[in-house]
């Protein structure tokens, strides 16, 4: 199972090392990670995507909670919290005379942006959920991707809808 | 009035009512030692920093107070790592202060610099690098609070030299609020009600008590509860003394070297009540067959311990003492009679009759006999520390522990060289007690230098070396599982332990025949100085019963 866990931590040096050390020391996996300051500058928000069976995920949640510098742990899947998540990717795609319009139409469909242009490459910025980013990469792949960089996830729980 | 950082530290220790520090000076902590020169705090100068941490740990286990340690930067700090890991695995409250190079030099590969906060992150409950003196009082207060509350553990505070030279108006915080640290002390009421229902229903219940009973000072509550409900109790190595070993309800220790009846009772029970224990692999053996037909109830303050190895049916997250009190309140009018447990007790008696701990006497000293003799001559009224290996298991099997905080042993990490410095710490905390380190000839040499500490402070610790001229437990595994290929587990050279004791200014005694054992132990107990007793014991003796690693615990090699 793959879970997205949002972790509110004290914004202090060494906290990321504690979290990373916990995962490596206990043999847990981190698939992606993002860390940023919150509105309250004394706190940071980490979003960790991890994988494991039910027992491992339970341990991950409990072990995170046990760290002194960790204020709150929200595992969206196990708490059944509906949430929004977005990633950002920068993709450097090969271009030539014949493919230019094809690439531009893909970019258009996905509401992506060209952020850098050279004679041989477009650098495309795309945001969205993981599936969307995977889909555009999939379409670009036959055209030739030179480089790619992806961010971790930014996540927020959805507001409850009034009944 | 403004005072210097080093003085601030001592004021903080004073506020935490610290009476004793185990330490070793060095460049980065010279300012603290300068302040200590006029201080009322009792400082015990050890001979190796590892000894300081184990001594602080032994002090903490024996007294229930937080043990304190002070060492310098770099090698001083890295020498504390084994001691920290030992305390971490066994949940022992200690605070270790390490010197550090000045903040401006951190990261510069300065002389005697080590990133001790980075190194000890996975073997401390929490740690701090203090970069500004203003933070120090809060950090010290938090360090002691974190060390002793919740599931206790070691905390390290790293102190750069320039911080110790800054000045401030001293004030100590009254209250504490760590937003990420709020241990659950009170067990959930609904779970407690459910637990009582489970207990009333059970026909073959067993209590499996661990170190948590001792850490939360819950021995009395456990005893009352077990007797009221007529539930037999088995303890882990860490739980020994948490329930009286001589009580008729006691099954002895369980697990790899547990008693036959304890392992059989756990295997066949219908309700297993784990109290402050963590289902360690040395206890459970094969997880699939461990208490396979039982409902599992688990009381523990640490949520990560629950359902980590064994799926728990009725978890109660809370302090052991508080939870047992709630269980006692909830069962006030629910006494269960011995008669009601007649069949279950008969089954246990049958296992007891089938096998009890025993060894054969011979012309050569049996190590078990030495342990029994120490028990007999002290009447059990002493604090026992152990090293690790066969000596540790025989101490657990052949000494009866009736009171908590009387067996100090490295259960989780299994640290050779723990017992002797821990005995020093225990003796410092209990000057009048008899303290005996049951040791092996291998382990004792790992921290033998602390003999000088014992002599310097006139700490009359008794060391009983069960000398089989080998690393007995390693040899035993090689004998049983590696075709008797004794690869590097026997010693061809040893010091003369009697002369060694004398060279340090301690007393050395030796027994080579069973007839001499009593005399040697008597003489040692009557000596008000540190004593090494060397017993030349049977070389081939094995610890039995034994469950091979990973096998079902009912699958015991008996003897």
Q: What pLDDT score was predicted for residue B93?
A: 98
Q: How many CB atoms lie within 10 A of CB B57?
A: 30
Name the pairing type of β-strands B462-467 and B435-440.
parallel
B 89-118: CB under 8 A from A: 117-118
Residue A69 touches partner B, C-beta closer than 8 Å: yes
Structure tokens at B198: 């489970």
Name the pairing type of β-strands B94-100 and B67-71.
parallel
Residue A67 touches partner B, C-beta closer than 8 Å: yes
Partner residues linked to A46 by β-bridges: A7, A35
Tell me, which fold does domain B189-354 have in CATH? Rossmann fold (3.40.50)
Q: What pLDDT score was predicted for residue B348?
A: 98
Q: What pLDDT score was predicted for residue A72?
A: 96
- Residues found in chain B: 559
Inter-residue contact B161 to B133 (CB < 8 Å):
no
Rounded Cα distance, B223 and B461, in Å: 30
CA B526, chain centre distance (Å) = 27
pLDDT at A61 over 80: yes
Rounded Cα distance, A124 and A115, in Å: 6
Residue B307 touches partner A, C-beta closer than 8 Å: yes
Rounded Cα distance, B255 and B348, in Å: 16
* Regions of chain B where pLDDT drops below 70: none
User: How does the average pLDDT of chain A come out, rounded?
Assistant: 94
CA-based angle B17:B210:B308, to the nearest 5? 110
Rounded Cα distance, B528 and A162, in Å: 79
**What does the buried/exposed string (b/e) look like for A23-46 if buried means 16 or more CB atoms within 10 Å of the residue's CB?**
beeeebeeeebbbeeeeeeebbbb
Nearest CB to B121; choose among A21, A58, A62: A21
Inter-residue contact A50 to A5 (CB < 8 Å):
yes
Report the CATH architecture of B367-536.
Answer: 3-Layer(aba) Sandwich (3.40)
Is B354 a residue of the active site?
A: no
Q: What pLDDT score was predicted for residue A78?
A: 85
Q: What pLDDT score was predicted for residue B335?
A: 86
What is the rounded average pLDDT of the residues A112-140?
95
Report the CATH architecture of B2-169.
Answer: 3-Layer(aba) Sandwich (3.40)
Per the rule left: phi > 0, alpha: psi between -120 and 50, beta: everything else, A30 is: beta
Q: What pLDDT score was predicted for residue B428?
A: 98
Q: Using the beta-carbon criterion (under 8 Å), do A25 and B180 form an inter-chain contact?
A: no
Is B401 a residue of the active site?
A: no
Rounded Cα distance, B188 and B172, in Å: 34
A150 pLDDT tier (thresholds 50, 70, 90): very high
Per the rule left: phi > 0, alpha: psi between -120 and 50, beta: everything else, B543 is: beta
CA A6, chain centre distance (Å) = 11
CA-based angle B376:B417:B488, to the nearest 5? 105
CATH 3.40.50.1220 location in chain B: 189-354
Residue B84 touches partner A, C-beta closer than 8 Å: no
Inter-residue contact B59 to B421 (CB < 8 Å):
no
Q: How many CB atoms lie within 10 A of CB B492?
A: 5
Inter-residue contact B60 to B467 (CB < 8 Å):
no
**Half-sphere exposure of residue B276, counting CA atoms within 13 Å on the CB side?**
34
The phi, psi pair for A24, rounded to 5°, reads: -70, -40
Q: Which residues of A touch B308 (CB under 8 A)?
A: 59
Closest among B446, B448, B452, B422 to B435, alpha carbons compared? B422
Structure tokens at A54: 């039910």
CATH 3.40.50.970 location in chain B: 2-169, 367-536
Residue given tokens 């029994």 in the structure block: B372
């Amino acid at each position: 199972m793959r879970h997205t866990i949002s972790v509110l931590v004290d914004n202090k040096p060494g906290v990321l090392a504690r979290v990373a050390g916990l995962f490596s020391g206990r043999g847990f996996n981190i698939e992606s990670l993002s860390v940023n300051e919150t509105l309250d500058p004394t706190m940071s928000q980490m979003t960790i995507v991890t994988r494991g069976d039910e027992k491992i995920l339970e341990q991950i949640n409990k072990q995170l909670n046990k760290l002194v510098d960790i204020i709150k742990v929200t595992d969206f899947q196990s708490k059944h919290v509906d949430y929004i998540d977005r990633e950002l990717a920068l993709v450097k795609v090969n271009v030539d005379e014949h493919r230019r319009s094809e690439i531009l139409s893909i970019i258009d469909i996905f509401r992506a942006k060209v952020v850098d242009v050279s004679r041989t490459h477009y650098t495309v910025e795309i945001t969205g959920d993981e599936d969307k980013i995977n889909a555009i990469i999939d379409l670009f792949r036959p055209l030739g991707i030179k480089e790619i960089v992806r961010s971790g996830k930014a996540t927020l729980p959805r507001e409850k809808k009034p009944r | 009035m403004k005072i210097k950082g080093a003085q601030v530290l001592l004021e903080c220790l004073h506020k935490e009512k610290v009476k004793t520090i185990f330490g070793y000076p060095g460049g980065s902590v010279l300012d603290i030692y300068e302040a200590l020169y006029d201080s009322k705090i009792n400082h015990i100068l050890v001979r190796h920093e590892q000894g300081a941490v184990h001594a602080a740990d032994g002090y903490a286990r024996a007294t229930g107070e937080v043990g304190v340690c002070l060492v310098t930067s770099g090698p001083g700090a890295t020498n504390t790592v084994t001691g920290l890991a030992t305390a971490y695995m066994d949940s022992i409250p200690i605070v270790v202060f390490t010197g550090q190079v000045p903040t401006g030099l951190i990261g510069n590969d300065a002389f005697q610099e080590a990133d001790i906060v980075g190194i000890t992150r996975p073997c401390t409950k929490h740690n701090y690098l203090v970069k500004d003196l203003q933070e120090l009082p809060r950090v010290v207060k938090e360090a002691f609070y974190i060390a002793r509350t919740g599931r206790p553990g070691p905390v390290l505070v790293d102190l750069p030299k320039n911080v110790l030279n800054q000045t401030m108006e001293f004030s100590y915080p009254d209250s504490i609020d760590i937003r990420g640290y709020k241990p659950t002390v009170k067990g959930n009421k609904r779970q407690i009600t459910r637990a009582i229902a489970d207990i009333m229903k059970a026909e073959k219940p067993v209590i499996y008590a661990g170190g948590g009973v001792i850490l939360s000072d819950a021995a009395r509550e456990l005893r009352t509860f077990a007797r009221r409900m007529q539930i037999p109790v088995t303890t882990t190595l860490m739980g020994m003394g948490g329930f009286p070993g001589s009580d008729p309800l006691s099954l002895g220790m369980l697990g790899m070297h547990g008693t036959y009846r304890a392992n059989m009772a756990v295997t066949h029970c219908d309700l297993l009540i784990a109290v402050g224990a963590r289902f360690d692999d040395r206890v459970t053996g094969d997880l699939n067959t461990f208490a396979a037909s039982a409902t599992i109830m688990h009381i523990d303050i640490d949520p990560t311990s629950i359902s980590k190895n064994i799926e728990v049916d009725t978890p109660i997250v809370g302090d052991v003492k508080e939870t047992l009190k709630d269980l006692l309140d909830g069962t006030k009018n629910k006494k269960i009679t011995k008669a009601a447990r007649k069949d279950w007790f008969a089954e246990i008696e049958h296992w007891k009759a089938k096998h009890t701990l025993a060894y054969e006497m011979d012309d050569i000293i049996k190590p078990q006999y030495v342990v029994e003799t120490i028990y007999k001559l002290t009447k059990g009224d002493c604090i026992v520390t152990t090293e690790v290996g066969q000596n540790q298991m025989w101490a657990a099997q052949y000494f009866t522990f009736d009171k908590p905080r009387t067996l100090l042993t490295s259960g989780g990490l299994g640290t050779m060289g723990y017992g002797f410095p821990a005995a020093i710490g225990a003796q410092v905390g209990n000057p009048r007690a008899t303290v005996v380190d049951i040791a092996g000839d291998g382990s004792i040499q790992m921290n033998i230098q602390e003999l000088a500490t014992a002599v310097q402070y006139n700490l009359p610790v008794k060391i009983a070396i069960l000398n089989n001229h080998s690393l007995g437990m390693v040899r035993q595994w090689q004998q049983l599982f590696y075709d008797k290929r004794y690869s590097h587990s026997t010693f061809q050279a040893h010091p003369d332990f009697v002369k060694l004791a004398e060279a340090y200014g301690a007393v050395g005694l030796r027994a080579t025949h069973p007839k001499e054992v009593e005399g040697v132990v008597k003489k040692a107990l009557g000596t008000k100085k540190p004593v090494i007793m060397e017993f030349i014991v049977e070389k081939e003796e094995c610890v039995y019963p034994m469950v091979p690693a990973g096998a079902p615990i009912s699958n015991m090699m008996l003897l």
